[in-house]
A and B are shown apart, each in its own frame.
Chain A
Amino acid sequence: MTAPLQFRDVTLGYDRHPAVHHLSGEVAPGALIAVVGPNGAGKSTLFRGLVGILKPLSGVIERGDLDIRDIAYLPQTADIDRSFPISVFDFVGTGLWRSTGFLGGIGKSAQDKIARALASVGLNGFENRNIGTLSGGQMQRMLFARVLLQDARMIVLDEPFNAIDTKTSADLLALVRRWHSEKRTVLAALHDMDLVRANFPETLLLARGKVAWGATPEVLTAENLLEARRMCEAFDDSAAPCVADNMPSRAA
């Protein structure tokens, strides 16, 4: 990724109701950005837009030379059917999709890669386990292993440390730092402000609209956090069409 990724007046939402409202900003190549905000602030929606599975209601997400398939996305675990009969090894192996495609075999070198990825997240010995038998923390480790294999230039993590113990969080955070040192761009939706302050140089504070975006110490001020908390979660069924959409200066 050489050109920055740009949000140009992006509104994302469902059924005409905005969940992210008129967001503009830039993600520099190699940046390590925390996306924080209360529940319903639009963090997951922003990521769904970013990875191309939700079309903006208005505005443009300009990915530059970055293809959608250059982005590894770790959604919240709830999206995964854990009752499906698939082993940890096979599940993690899907991270090699870019090189294997539909029909490519998983040869010796691919098997070694999968084994190394599992070892990196501390899941040696879990290869043949069904994914349904994993604990929450093990599941998250497995998903990180798949992201490792995707070898993507941009990594998007949706609440990766939710309901995870301190040891697992620390291990996975070490992987995030490793990706950053490898000059990959990382965005992570997070709730733990101490963790953000300690590890993420840049932060986007989101509350449907952008409250602040920049260096973490300047963004996570008491004032900004209070403003984000004032955000109202409810949809307004009788809301009028957004006038800002019609303003020429806002047009993408």
Chain B
Amino acid sequence: MLLYDALIAPFTEFEFMRRALAAVIALALGGAPIGVFLMLRRMSLVGDAMAHAILPGAAIGFLISGLSLFAMTFGGLIAGFTVAILAGVIARTTELKEDASLATFYLVSLALGVTIVSIKGTNIDLLHVLFGNILAMDDQTLLVIAFNTTVTLLVLAVIYRPLVVECVDPVFLRTVSRAGAPAHLAFLALVVVNLVNGFHALGTLLAVGLMILPAGIARFWSRDITGMICIAVASAVVSGYLGLVLSFQTRVPSGPAVILVAAALYVASVLFGSVSGLVRQMFPAPHLEA
């Protein structure tokens, strides 16, 4: 009964907890596969930088119409795309590399975003924007998150093959298809869409957490990309669920609780992962004959 009270009762008794659970499951389904590709394309920190870049857009949306879901989503999407495209253009037309220009843009964006929110809002509004509020999901927000996840999975299915081939052998892709650049752009768009998704639930600072941490976890348990995606999604769902329970039982803010659970899973994976986990390396199984 104790276990039921701790793990199940919060969700059967409180609607806001059920909504939060639905939100984290949707976030996990869309964000975790994107995170795996970010990691395999060595773009994990690019995801983080882009997460900050959506802030001024969302903040302008907030400035115009308060905590309106659509204004903030739309603003975030516009700002994210603008920064992604500008960073790409500057990297291709100047000596500056894409990561350096992204770093510049995200710092400026973060400063700009916080300033804009502070002009109109209170500190509570600012906290909402920075850390999200997964326990206050209304119908509309849930629908937006579910819609974005659906779009993500459909688009990912279409660009999956060129995305994989571009990672492993970009020159080959260029000789057999012109899909490389459009697939990369579509992928960046999916990154932005999922960051905006994460932004509603976890805020700009942690939005990327449910994308990158599960991908890192998956790397320690699978050598195969399909396996990695499945493990990443599963660990994101588990992190979301346990994070909500932790938050409910201990009053830790929900967003950080979700990320902290993911971090705990990450540490366990680093230690005990079947693929290059530290304990596994310390006590290796005997080598084979051939």
Q: Give the interface of A toward B (CB within 8 A).
A: 51-53, 68-69, 71-73, 75, 79-81, 84-87, 91, 94, 97-98, 100, 102-103, 130-131, 146, 150
**B127 contacts partner chain A, Cβ-Cβ < 8 Å:** no
Q: Judging by beta carbons under 8 Å apart, are B228 and A85 in contact?
A: yes
30 contacts between A and B (CB under 8 A): A51-B175, A52-B175, A53-B171, A68-B175, A69-B177, A71-B175, A73-B172, A75-B172, A79-B170, A81-B167, A84-B40, A84-B167, A84-B168, A85-B223, A86-B224, A86-B225, A87-B224, A91-B169, A97-B165, A98-B176, A100-B161, A102-B158, A102-B159, A102-B161, A102-B179, A103-B157, A103-B158, A103-B161, A130-B224, A131-B168
CA distance A243 to B255 in the complex (A): 66
Q: Judging by beta carbons under 8 Å apart, are B168 and A80 in contact?
A: yes
Q: How many chain B residues touch the partner (CB < 8 A)? A: 24
Partner of B223, one of A69, A72, A102, A130: A130
Q: Answer whether A81 and B168 are a contact pair too, CB < 8 Å, given A87-B224, A102-B162, A103-B158.
A: yes
CA distance A197 to B225 in the complex (A): 44
Partner of B175, one of A53, A80, A85: A53
Q: Judging by beta carbons under 8 Å apart, are A85 and B171 in contact?
A: no
Q: Answer whether A86 and B176 are a contact pair too, CB < 8 Å, given A53-B171, A103-B158.
A: no
Q: Judging by beta carbons under 8 Å apart, are A73 and B225 in contact?
A: no
Q: Majority SS of interface residues in chain B?
A: helix
Q: Which residues of B contact A53 (CB under 8 A)?
A: 171, 174-175
* A-B CB contacts (within 8 Å), total count: 65
CA distance A84 to B175 in the complex (A): 20
**B247 contacts partner chain A, Cβ-Cβ < 8 Å:** no
CA distance A52 to B176 in the complex (A): 10
Q: Judging by beta carbons under 8 Å apart, are A79 and B177 in contact?
A: no
Q: Judging by beta carbons under 8 Å apart, are B176 and A85 in contact?
A: no
CA distance A53 to B224 in the complex (A): 30
Most buried by B among A75, A84, A87: A84
CA distance A72 to B176 in the complex (A): 8
Minimum C-beta distance from B56 to chain A (A): 35
**B101 contacts partner chain A, Cβ-Cβ < 8 Å:** no
Q: Which residues of A contact B161 (CB under 8 A)?
A: 94, 100, 102-103
CA distance A100 to B157 in the complex (A): 14
Q: Which residues of B contact A130 (CB under 8 A)?
A: 223-224
Q: Judging by beta carbons under 8 Å apart, are A86 and B171 in contact?
A: no
**B222 contacts partner chain A, Cβ-Cβ < 8 Å:** yes
**B164 contacts partner chain A, Cβ-Cβ < 8 Å:** yes
CA distance A68 to B174 in the complex (A): 10
CA distance A100 to B167 in the complex (A): 19
Task: Annotate B222-244 by CB proximity to A: 1 below 8 A, 0 otherwise.
Answer: 11110010000000000000000
Q: Judging by beta carbons under 8 Å apart, are A80 and B169 in contact?
A: yes
